[in-house]
Amino acid sequence: MDFALTDEQRDLSAAAARLLADRYPVERVAGLADTGGVDPDTWPHLRRQGWCDPELGMVEKGLLAQEGGYALAATPWWSTVGLAHPIHRAAGRELTTDPLTVAWQDDPAGGGCRAARHGDRWRLTGRRALVTDATAATALVVAADTDDGVALFAVRSPAAGLAVEAQPTLDRLRGAARLRLADTPGELLVAPGSAERVLADARRHAGTLLACEAVGVARRALELARRHAGDRVQFGRPIGAYQAVAHRLADSYVTLELATSLALRACWLHGAGDTAPAEVAHAHAEAVVAGRRAAVSACEDALQVTGGLGATWEYPLHWWYRRALWLDSFDTPTGAHLATLADHLLTTPPQPAGRPAG
Amino acid sequence: MRLRDTPEEAAFRAGLRAWLAEHVPRYRGGTAPGEWTKALHAAGYSGLTWPVAYGGRGLPPTYQGIYAEESALAGAPDHVNVIGLGMVGPTVVSHGTPEQQKRFLEPILSGEFVFCQGFSEPDAGSDLAAVRTRAVAAADGWRVTGEKVWSSYAHQADWCLLLARTQPGSTAHTGLTCLLVDMRSPGVRVLPLRQSTGDSDFNQIVLTDVPVPRDCVLGPVGEGWRIAMTTLAHERGTFGITLTARLAVEFDRLLRTVHDLGLAGDPAVRAEVAELHVQLQGLRWTGHRTMAALARTGKPGPESSILKLHWSITNQRLAAFALRLLGPAAMLHGPDSHAAGHWQHLRLRSRANSIEGGTSEILRGIIAERVLGLPRTR
Ligand SMILES: Cc1cc2nc3c(=O)[nH]c(=O)nc-3n(C[C@H](O)[C@H](O)[C@H](O)COP(=O)(O)OP(=O)(O)OC[C@H]3O[C@@H](n4cnc5c(N)ncnc54)[C@H](O)[C@@H]3O)c2cc1C
């Protein structure tokens, strides 16, 4: 067993960090958030650096996701590579570098999405909501009901009868949109029967990358707090010299490291061909639970350590906090992940000298 | 990155597992000191990572990790020479003279020399540099006088790695020296202390003018602090894997308790079980990351400082949860209680986890200062 990054992986990570540090200084992050959170300029740089390469391994993608979370990169990379690519791959499509996203969630205001067949063409009608990065996407994967069950369709954006309405979001750097489709042409990507599994796999792929992103968010929050604790002087000493502050940050580091291990492990298992599906699913649940916790608590610890400054709009920490809250609520709730694990752990009593689970 | 055993590792694991299955029960309970170490040594499972020249097998740290996991799973005894094998041995490998290496390493491996560690004193616990036990130069070496406390297994030990002040009037980290003290020397008295669990695994050691020959000084005179830090790094680093593996066994036991008590369908119980599992898995895989860092760089990485700290938190959380599961039955202890009071014992014992081997406060201080680079706290 060797749970260490290779030199190539380290280099990739470092190059990604440099690119993003260059493109996303803190002021720019705040500026982008104030103007709708879309950065049209960075995509070509990501492409050039190979962020969308079809050959990219899962651990490599996880490292890029970490850096994305650290920098709060305002690009549709995650929805493209994390969500849409696995579906395109399953559909036997060539993976391009067009920004993409996937729409499968029902609009809480009501109304699903149906697809009807007209000869060999399909048309989609209805709504999808909470569609991440939809305004930046040039094509969408849309889940719609057919007479034989859910299928996945490719829809161009813009397209006839398609309206993409931005929804106001807590995390302004990762926009959501509502799609309204009225007889919109779609191309069948994955037929009913396999679509449900393909979508679930894609969500797991994307979710594992979000666990990595969460680790990046936590790392940045800790970094901001660490720096502040070294600089800010109260009662004649830097506040980091007080144990109440130092120990809080030490705990934050512990939580971050544990989550990092689980996120990288989930990536590795996801990428390893010979892993049992259940093992991948459990590692995924563990990584997501630990990642969300780490991101939220690192931001909250950092907010405490930065005092009144941290409570202002101008101090940038809340942008990472907002991302942490987005991560905490996106897709499958933490309670459902815990339930998955409990099912696995408590189905049968373990043998007296049992192997540790997982 | 490769999160599975290589064919060689898998073969080693399988062989070890078969060997443990056959040998562990014989040594359960009432083991004579060193007996288990002897058995391990005879089978070639002692000193896996030690240099071949010293009787070890010169294997990469992974093998030590596999040993830790498998021995915990097999319920192998918490053998008394854990200090000799895990801490004193590696320190002698790094800092001992060739004569000392020849004299001590084989016998530590074979179980002939069981070691204890005499660092803590009544006034020097967290503040270890406040050690007052003094060693005075004599014609044939040194004479040691003072008092040590909480020395685990001293009542069964043949030797003690002891930290003493050799320079009169010196303070803090300076003027300290590490000594290898024969526990049968005149002037050594071992007084067992009773722990809150009722067990007596640690002791007070009273030293009165104890002779220590010159060739039993470990490392340079006056540099005992540096030597002691090597020992503690091993205590906190590699031992983390063993602790985590044992915790995994407790977790399996917890799952059985949940079933025994008919609580496997209780939503609150299920949620807590899953939470504990995530904590445990985090520790487990962080342990493997630490081991990879150790294999590459030769020293435990910064992640290692978190293992002991978080292990103690998780072990305490698990023990507390287990007692909650028992409800009013938790008030019993002994033969009438569930699993003969295993959880009651663990709950009491686990309280010491955040004290022994460096308190959680001290470990957080180390992380804050050395890993995060925060200013030194006072
Ligand atoms: C089961 C067990 C086995 C042990 N085995 C051995 C052994 O084999 N050999 C050996 O040498 N020692 C052994 N010890 C001793 C152990 O290393 C010490 O108990 C430990 O280092 C703490 O020292 P102390 O007990 O003097 O507590 P103290 O140092 O008095 O600490 C008391 C409390 O104050 C806190 N505190 C102290 N200083 C600070 C600070 N600077 N900042 C914040 N908080 C602080 C501590 O965290 C703790 O909560 C063992 C202890 C136990 C419980």
Residue B165 Cα to ligand 1 midpoint, Å, equals 19
Instruction: Report the half-sphere exposure of B135 (CA within 13 A, side-chain side).
Output: 26
**Cβ(B63)–Cβ(B96) below 8 Å:** no
Active site residue B235: yes
Interchain pair B1, A290: CB under 8 A: no
- Which sign, positive or negative, has the C-alpha torsion A313, A314, A315, A319? positive
A127, β-bridge pairs: A180
Q: How far is B212 from chain A (nearest CA, A)?
A: 41
What is the Cβ-side half-sphere exposure of residue B151, based on CA atoms within 13 angstroms? 31
**Which residues in chain B are closer than 8 Å to A289, comparing Cβ atoms?**
274-275, 278
User: To the nearest whole angstrom, how far is the Cα of B369 from the nearest Cα of chain A?
Assistant: 8
Q: How many angstroms separate the CA of residue A220 from the nearest CA in chain B?
A: 13
B169 Rama class: left (phi>0) / alpha (psi -120 to 50) / beta: left
Residues paired with residue A181 on neighbouring β-strands, in sequence order: A126, A162
Compute, in degrees rounded to 10, the torsion defined by CA atoms A83, A85, A90, A91: 110
CA A194/CA A196 separation, integer angstroms:
6
CA distance to A63, B48, B231, per residue, from B304 (Å): 21, 20, 14
The reported pLDDT for the residue numbered A210 is 98
Strand pairing category for A176-190 and A139-146: unpaired
pLDDT tens, position by position, B58-102: 999 899 899 999 999 998 877 778 899 989 999 999 999 999 999
DSSP for A241-287, please give it: GSHHHHHHHHHHHHHHHHHHHHHHHHHHHHH-TT--HHHHHHHHHHH
Looking at residue A354, its pLDDT comes to 43
Indicate yes or no: CB of A262 within 8 angstroms of CB of B371: no
Q: Ligand 1: does its nearest atom lie under 6 Å from the Cβ of B266?
A: no
Element (H, E) at A71: helix A58-71
Q: What residue owns the CA closest to ligand 1's atom 9?
A: B151
SS3 B273: helix
User: How much of chain A is in helix, strand and coil states, percent to nearest 5?
Assistant: 55, 20, 30
Q: Closest Cα to atom 31, ligand 1: which residue?
A: B126
- Give the CA angle between residues B98, B100, B102 to the nearest 5°: 70
Largest CA distance in chain B: 72
Ligand 1 close to Cβ of residue B361 (< 6 A) = yes
Nearest CB to A3 within list B248, B285, B378: B285
Alpha-carbon distance of A270 to B31, in angstroms, equals: 45
Candidates B5, B293, B361; nearest CB to A1: B5
In terms of Cβ atoms closer than 10 Å to its own Cβ (0-12, 13-18, 19+), residue A133 is: buried
CB B330 near ligand 1, within 6 Å: no
Q: How big is the CA angle at A194 (ends A191 and A200), to the nearest 5 degrees?
A: 120
CA-CA distance, B220 to B226, in Å (whole number)? 10
Partners of A358 on chain B (C-beta within 8 Å) are 277, 281
3-state helix, strand, coil in chain B (%, to 5): 55, 15, 30
Yes or no: say if B125 and B132 are a contact pair by the CB < 8 Å rule. Answer: no
Q: Which of B235, B250, B272, B303 is catalytic?
A: B235
Q: What is the mean pLDDT of each run of 10 residues along chain B (378 residues)?
A: 95 97 71 82 93 93 91 83 91 96 96 96 96 96 98 96 96 96 98 95 97 98 95 74 92 97 98 98 94 82 82 98 97 92 97 95 95 90
Q: Are A133 and A164 in contact (CB under 8 A)?
A: no
CB B91 within 8 A of CB B83: no
Q: Please tell me the distance from the alpha carbon of residue A89 to that of residue A148, in angstroms, as a whole number.
A: 22
Q: Best of A234, A346, A351 to disrupt the B interface by mutation (most B CBs within 10 Å)?
A: A346
Do A262 and B285 count as a contact with CB atoms less than 8 A apart? yes
Cis bond leading into A185, ω under 30°?
no
- Characterize the bridge pairing of strands A139-146 and A121-132: unpaired
Interface contact B306-A253, CB threshold 8 A: yes
Residues of chain A falling short of pLDDT 50: 354-358
Q: Name which of B259, B288, B375 is nearest A349 (Cβ-Cβ).
A: B259
pLDDT of residue B230: 86
| ipTM for the whole complex | 0.95
Does B3 contact A3 at a Cβ distance shorter than 8 Å? Answer: yes
The enclosing H or E element of A216 equals helix A195-231
**Nearest CA of chain A to the CA of B363: how many Å?**
9
pTM > 0.90: yes or no: yes
Looking at residue A358, its pLDDT comes to: 37
Per the CB < 8 Å rule, is A246 touching B293?
no
Treating both helix axes as pointing N-terminal to C-terminal, what angle do A334-346 and A277-305 enclose, rounded to 10 degrees?
140
Cβ–Cβ below 8 Å for B374 and A338: no
Cα gap A165→A162, rounded to integer Å = 10
Residue B286 with chain A: CB contacts under 8 Å: 257-258, 260-261
Take residue A284 and report the two structure tokens written for it. Answer: 């995924």
Of A92, A272, A285, A355, nearest to B70 by C-alpha is A355
CB contacts, 8 Å: B256 with chain A: 349-350, 352
Cα B356 to averaged position of ligand 1 atoms, centre (Å): 6
A78 DSSP 8-state letter: I
Q: For position B25, what pLDDT does the model report?
A: 64
Smallest Cβ–Cβ distance between A342 and the set B6, B274, B281 belongs to B274
Start-to-end CA distance of chain B, whole Å, equals 40
